[in-house]
């Protein structure tokens, strides 16, 4: 294992740069040549690959986004695209690859590795925290802290005007961001993709809260929950009951940006270090993860197909603490 490469793919997440830095510096420590592939799988097809040194990854651990850029590649889904990507790897004599991203990134790595027998190690980088085989993914901690910081400011306005606020956070298929921000911000109610919460359930809660003379309510909405996004829920509420005046705030893509938290910097560094060591030890087609504080390796097949699910104990706790 003399020549390795690293790339980022899919949605960006705070901490990806810290992972790239760890891969490069760990690889160099082990006398490897480390290459950066720019713009993910599309960049691999187009040959956008350069050798990286320690100076190339200096002063990036605190930066959001990814210095290697990212993109989605339809061409890589085709046999012709993967064949072109393999030619690029042959040209640079790449022996193994570290892929930083989510389940789509791991799916591409699994297919490509099976086609051409190139060892891949995956690093889970997604703010959604929805990858099986790890307690936390890179970017999740920063995303929920960004959301909570915004919600703390909204709370001041909600309190001043005795209003109901719907706050939409990211999470098309996973509710971890919504659940954690709900608990961390002291919100009154949460709509998650994994639950069947309805607007009628919310009205029942609000009616009970009103009897207790609760003056304002913050409702966290995951964008992919079954009852619709925050705007849709707000309109449904108004249609069913005019007792509650509501406002809507969509936090949106600011959750993906910004300087990564200390937790994400350390987590990403551990993952990058572990990924290079996994390649050195001859592992392939696995994603590194952290479970109960220990580094683990999960086959891509499991990481892609198995559902992490929501922590039902935390869901119950959230409901109790909001009463």
Give every strand in the sheet of 246-250, ordered side by side. Answer: 189-191, 217-222, 164-169, 246-250
DSSP secondary structure of 34-62? EEEETTHHHHHHHT-EEEE-GGGGTT-TT
Alpha carbons 230 and 244: distance in angstroms, whole number: 15
Burial class from Cβ neighbours inside 10 Å (0-12, 13-18, 19+) for residue 3 reads middle
pLDDT (0 to 100) of residue 269: 98
Name, in order, each residue with C-beta under 8 angstroms of 316's C-beta and a sequence gap of 6 or more: none
pLDDT (0 to 100) of residue 215: 65
Across residues 297-312, what is the average pLDDT? 95
Are the C-beta atoms of residues 13 and 128 closer than 8 Å to each other?
A: no
Task: Name residue, tokens 């890589």.
Answer: 76
Lowest mean pLDDT among 78-92, 161-175, 272-286: 161-175
pTM for this entry: 0.94
**What torsion, rounded to 10 degrees, do the Cα atoms 233, 317, 139, 300 define?**
-100
Q: Give me the domains of the chain, ranges plus CATH numbers.
A: 3-139+260-305 (3.40.50.450), 140-257 (3.40.50.460)
pLDDT (0 to 100) of residue 234: 94
pLDDT at 105 over 90: yes
Which among 12, 5, 4, 56 has a CA at the least distance from the CA of 264? 12
The residues annotated as belonging to the active site are 128
Are the C-beta atoms of residues 128 and 177 closer than 8 Å to each other?
A: yes
pLDDT at 216 over 80: no
Query: 168 in helix, strand or coil?
Result: strand
């Amino acid at each position: 294992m003399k020549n390795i490469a690293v790339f980022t793919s899919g949605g960006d997440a705070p901490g990806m740069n810290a992972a790239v830095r760890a891969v490069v510096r760990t690889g160099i420590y082990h006398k490897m040549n480390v290459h950066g592939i720019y713009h993910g799988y599309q960049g691999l097809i187009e040959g956008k690959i350069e050798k990286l040194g320690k100076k190339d990854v200096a002063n990036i651990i605190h930066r959001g986004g990814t210095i290697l850029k990212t993109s989605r590649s339809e061409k890589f889904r085709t046999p012709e695209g993967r064949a072109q990507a393999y030619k690029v790897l042959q040209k640079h004599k790449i022996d193994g690859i570290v892929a930083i991203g989510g389940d789509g990134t791991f799916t591409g790595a699994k297919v490509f590795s099976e086609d051409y027998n190139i060892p891949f190690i995956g690093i889970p980088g997604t703010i959604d925290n929805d990858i099986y085989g790890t307690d936390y993914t890179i970017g999740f901690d920063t995303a929920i802290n960004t959301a909570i910081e915004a919600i703390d400011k909204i709370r001041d306005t909600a309190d001043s005007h005795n209003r109901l606020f719907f706050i939409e956070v990211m999470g098309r298929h996973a509710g971890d961001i919504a659940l954690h921000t709900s608990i961390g911000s002291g919100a009154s109610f949460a709509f998650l993709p994994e639950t069947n919460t309805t607007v009628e359930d919310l009205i029942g809660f609000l009616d009970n809260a009103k009897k207790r003379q609760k003056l304002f309510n913050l409702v966290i909405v995951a964008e992919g929950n079954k009852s619709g996004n925050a705007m849709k829920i707000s309109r449904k509420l108004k249609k069913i009951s005019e007792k509650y005046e509501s406002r809507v705030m969509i936090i949106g893509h600011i959750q993906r940006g910004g300087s990564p938290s200390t937790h994400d910097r350390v987590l990403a560094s551990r993952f990058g270090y572990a990924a290079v060591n996994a390649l050195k030890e001859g592992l392939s087609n696995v994603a590194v993860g952290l479970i109960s504080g220990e580094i683990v390796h999960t086959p891509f097949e499991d990481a892609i197909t198995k559902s992490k699910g929501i922590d039902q104990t935390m869901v119950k706790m959230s409901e109790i603490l909001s009463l």
